[in-house]
Amino acid sequence: MTIRLLLADDQHLIRAGLAALLNLEADLDVVHQLPDGREIVEHIRQHQVDVAVLDIEMPEVDGITATADITAAFGDEVAVLIVTTFGRAGYLQRAMTAGARGFMVKDAPAEQLAEAVRTVHAGGRAVDPALAAEALSAGTNPLTDRERDVLKAALTGSSVKHIAAQVHLSQGTVRNHLSSAIGKTQTANRTEAARVAQQNGWL
């Protein structure tokens, strides 16, 4: 039986390389490719995809949001395998919570990636072992959704006023969320807090 794959990655060369490697396997067939996660549910339905292989950091719709969309639309019928450059514990935790069955880094050997596709298609889990150990030691993401929103906006060095406008909250509420996030990340200011949160894959 041939496993039908969809690849989503905003870097064309990487996407094409992954497709070429996976298509070398007799039982794998990359039937569609996308530059991001927009309208991914419709593309999966149209091309009768079995496994979606997604990057995380993509424009428009990222891989974790796309994973949640796929899980909501198809449940267990379509498996999601995250393949990313950024092996961050927080990304792993968020991806699995969203419904991904696998999480691999892009420098994994080709045969390991192909085997991960087969594993998730069969209903199993395929997670990079070193990353899984790191995720366990790192613990869960301590930030609330609102704290994540304000820290994402703070990554650009925006003022509290600008952040408040972006996330549709009052300036006082934004300050409270930033203060809480700074405490949870054990940092000195919002710029450091945003950087630590991003490095941990919490944003």
pLDDT tens for residues 40-83? 999 999 999 999 999 998 988 999 999 999 999 999 999 999 99
The CATH code for residues 145-199 is: 1.10.10.10
Query: Is the separation of the CB atoms in 97 and 64 below 8 Å?
Result: no
pLDDT at position 110 is: 86
Domain 3-137, second-level architecture: 3-Layer(aba) Sandwich (3.40)
Where in the chain are the domains?
A: 3-137, 145-199
pLDDT at position 195 is: 86
Name the average pLDDT for the chain.
90
User: Is residue 137 predicted with pLDDT exceeding 60?
Assistant: no
Which of the 8 DSSP states describes residue 77?
G
Phi, psi of 62 (to 5 degrees): -80, 170
pLDDT mean over 148-174? 90
